[in-house]
Structure formats: structure tokens, C-alpha cells
């Protein structure tokens, strides 16, 4: 059976549906002209207008970016660019005296080529978003040098992770036989859990600086709030996000009894860290942001989404296995 046209049609149906939903949300940004009565105590008219303008610009950018991505994907499929990239990766390793029997190495070269292509195609959009859209609304704090360094770090990180996970997946596909999808599913699940453990301490600091919050009333207020919600808080950190953006935010992460809260330094009162003020009054907005995040944790949506993601990934591997009738146990390969 020819799956090409059903695949193309499915991609565009999904795209059109998501675009319709985004367009509906975009209309909301344009229709909100006055602060709702419920928010007048915490939001003024000028802030509402600025926020709506920013969201409208972001929505327009997102719609155009997604359309461009959909056209590129369709072009890749129509032009048989993936087989071309696979053959090109074979030529690359052949230059070093390696043949097609080195499947793992060719697959790595193939994925690296796709990563580079994706990065080059998306780079103009990233530049526009950072240095025009965010700059226009006063949020961008990145210099061109900082941006380039960030892009290089992400490219190296993505390539490194690909080189770690892909050989394992290919080996399991050959070794696992009929039930390879179960082993592949478990492998990707284990790898994802390992990444979640090492990300805060080893990966995130590659991009931003994290420091413990100074002793003071703000820290005490956050710890008291966590205790009132039975949230097992171990650390409160401040991330130096002001070099990247003027946006303020906070997030929580961790497993079981080892939870952490991270505040963007843009959320903290100006001069709090630099001056080392230990007895300053906590900014009520800071505590409200953390309270909002802890309330989400209390409702445990991330556990439900995590379980759903695990099950969907298993289903994807299962569907892949049903489409394959080759006996992979007999395949020989070198690495």
C-alpha cells in the first residue's frame, strides 16, 4: 500500500486544525480592550495593552513560522530529500573508507546532516524572533555574541545526545527481533529519566548561571509556602536569566523528596542579590508566582502528562513494529 498521500493529507489536516485553534486564540488578544473586573486590583490598562500587543505579534510570527515549517516538511517529502540525505551520509562515511555495513555510523551521519539542515533553515526565524520581535517589546537582552554561543552550545548538545541514544536504539532494533519495540520503548524511557536527573546539575548550567537565593524574608516566605503545601523543598535557586531576556518567571523541578524552585533574577527586586540584602521585604509578586507554580504541582498534572507520554511513546513503537515484517535477527552490522 502506498502511504505517501495519506501521510501528506494527515500532516496538512493536523496543521490546519492547529492553525484554526491558534487563529481563534489570536482573535481573543485583539478583542480584549479593558481589564476584567476580577483583575483590576493586579493589572492596569497600560500593561494589558502592552501584553495584548506582544501576544498579537507573537501569534502572527508563530502562524507564519508554522506555515513555513509545514511547507518545508512537505517539500522534503515530495523531493525525496530523506533518501538523498541517507545516500549523502553514505558518501560521507565512504570518504573515510567505511561502507554501508557500518549502519550505526551512517545513521549518525544521517542524523547530524538532518540536524544541521534544520538548524540552518530555522536560524533566520530565531534571529528575527530574538532581535526584532523580543527587542521591539523590550524583552531581549541577548547580544549577537551571546546568541551565537548559545546556538553552538545547543548544536553540540543535540549532536552529543544523538550520538549517545541512536546507537543503542539501532542495536536494540537488531537484537530485539519481533519485540524490538518493547526494548526500544524501555530504553528511551530510561534515557529520558536519566536526562531529567542530570539536566539541572550538568546541562542547565551550561547555558545559565544558577546561585542559591540569599538568606532573607523572601526565602523564608517561599519555604513557609512550600511547607504549607507539603511540598518537599530542598533548594531555592536564582537563574541569571536577565542576560537572555527581561521576562520574569519561576519553575519547579525534581523527583520525590528532592524538589527545587528556580526564580528568574528578573523576578527578584532590583539589587537584591548584588547588595546581599538579607532582611529585605519579599516582593509579593515573587511569592504569588511561586504559589501559582506550587499549586500546579499540588494538582499533579505533570504526573498525568508524563504517564500519558510514556504510554503514547510505547504505542508509537508498537505501530512501527507492526509495519515491519523483516527478521532483524539475521542482520549483521559493525559499529
Q: Which residue, chain included where needed, has cell 537488531? A: 174
* Alpha-carbon span 335 to 333, nearest angstrom: 7
Residue 197 CA to residue 222 CA, distance in Å, equals 23
Query: H helices then E strands: how many in the chain?
Result: 11, 4
Q: How confident is the model at residue 325 (pLDDT cuts 50, 70, 90)?
A: very low
Q: What are phi and psi of 41, to 5 degrees?
A: -75, -20
The SS3 of residue 302 is: helix
Strands (E) across the chain are located at 210-212, 233-239, 250-255, 258-264
Q: Is the pLDDT of residue 279 over 60?
A: no
The pLDDT value recorded for residue 331 is: 40
The grid cell for 311 is: 504510554
8 A C-beta contact, residue 216 and residue 279:
yes
Which residues, including other chains, have CB under 8 Å from residue 105's CB and lie 6 or more apart?
93, 98, 335
- Distance between CA atoms of 111 and 312, rounded to whole angstroms? 23
Q: Which residues contact 189 (CB under 8 A, 6 or more apart)?
A: 310, 313
Instruction: Give the cell for residue 53.
Output: 500587543
Instruction: Measure the CA–CA gap between 83 and 72, rounded to whole angstroms.
Output: 16
Predicted local distance difference test score (pLDDT) of residue 195 = 86
Per-residue pLDDT at 94? 92
User: What mean pLDDT value characterizes the chain?
Assistant: 80
Confidence of residue 317 (pLDDT cuts 50, 70, 90): low
Which pTM was predicted? Answer: 0.76
Active-site residue list: 316
Across 302-324, average pLDDT = 53
pLDDT for residue 277 is more than 50: no
**How confident is the model over 52-79, as a mean pLDDT?**
94
- Show Cβ contacts of residue 48 under 8 Å, excluding neighbours closer than 6 positions: 32, 34, 35
pLDDT in tens, 195-245: 888 888 888 888 988 988 888 888 888 888 888 878 888 888 888 888 888
Task: List Cα–Cα distances, 310 to 4, 51, 136, 239, in angstroms.
Answer: 28, 36, 40, 30
- CA separation, residue 129 to residues 65, 155, 156 (Å): 10, 19, 22
More confident residue, 282 or 180: 180
Amino acid at each position: 500500500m502506498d502511504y505517501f498521500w495519506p501521510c501528506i493529507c494527515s500532516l496538512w489536516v493536523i496543521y490546519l486544525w492547529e492553525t484554526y485553534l491558534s487563529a481563534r486564540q489570536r482573535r481573543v488578544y485583539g478583542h480584549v480592550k479593558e481589564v476584567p473586573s476580577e483583575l483590576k486590583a493586579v493589572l492596569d490598562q497600560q500593561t494589558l495593552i502592552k501584553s495584548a500587543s506582544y501576544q498579537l505579534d507573537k501569534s502572527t510570527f508563530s502562524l507564519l513560522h508554522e506555515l513555513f515549517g509545514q511547507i518545508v516538511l512537505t517539500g522534503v517529502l515530495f523531493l525525496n530529500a530523506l533518501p538523498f540525505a541517507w545516500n549523502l551520509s553514505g558518501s560521507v562515511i565512504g570518504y573515510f573508507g567505511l561502507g554501508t555495513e557500518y549502519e550505526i555510523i551512517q545513521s549518525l551521519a544521517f542524523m547530524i546532516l538532518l540536524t544541521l539542515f534544520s538548524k540552518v533553515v530555522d536560524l533566520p526565524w530565531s534571529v528575527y524572533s530574538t532581535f526584532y520581535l523580543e527587542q521591539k517589546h523590550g524583552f531581549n537582552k541577548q547580544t549577537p555574541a551571546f546568541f551565537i554561543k548559545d546556538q553552538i552550545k545547543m548544536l553540540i548538545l543535540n549532536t552529543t545526545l544523538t550520538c549517545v541514544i541512536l546507537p543503542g536504539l539501532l542495536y536494540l532494533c537488531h537484537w530485539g527481533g519481533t519485540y524490538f519495540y518493547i526494548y526500544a520503548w524501555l530504553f528511551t524511557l530510561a534515557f529520558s529519566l536519566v536526562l531529567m536527573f542530570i539536566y539541572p546539575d550538568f546541562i542547565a548550567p551550561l547555558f545559565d548561571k544558577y546561585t542559591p537565593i540569599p538568606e532573607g524574608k523572601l526565602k523564608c516566605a517561599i519555604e513557609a509556602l512550600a511547607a504549607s503545601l507539603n511540598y518537599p523543598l530542598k533548594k531555592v535557586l536564582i537563574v541569571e536569566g536577565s542576560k537572555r531576556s527581561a521576562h520574569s518567571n519561576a519553575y519547579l523541578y525534581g523527583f520525590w523528596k528532592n524538589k527545587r524552585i528556580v526564580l528568574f533574577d528578573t523576578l527578584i527586586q532590583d539589587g537584591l542579590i548584588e547588595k546581599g540584602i538579607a532582611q529585605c521585604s519579599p516582593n509579593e509578586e515573587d511569592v504569588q508566582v511561586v504559589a501559582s507554580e506550587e499549586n500546579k504541582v499540588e494538582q499533579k498534572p505533570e504526573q498525568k502528562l508524563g504517564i500519558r507520554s510514556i504510554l503514547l511513546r510505547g504505542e508509537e513503537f508498537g505501530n512501527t513494529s507492526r509495519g515491519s515484517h523483516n527478521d532483524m535477527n539475521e542482520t549483521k552490522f559493525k559499529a
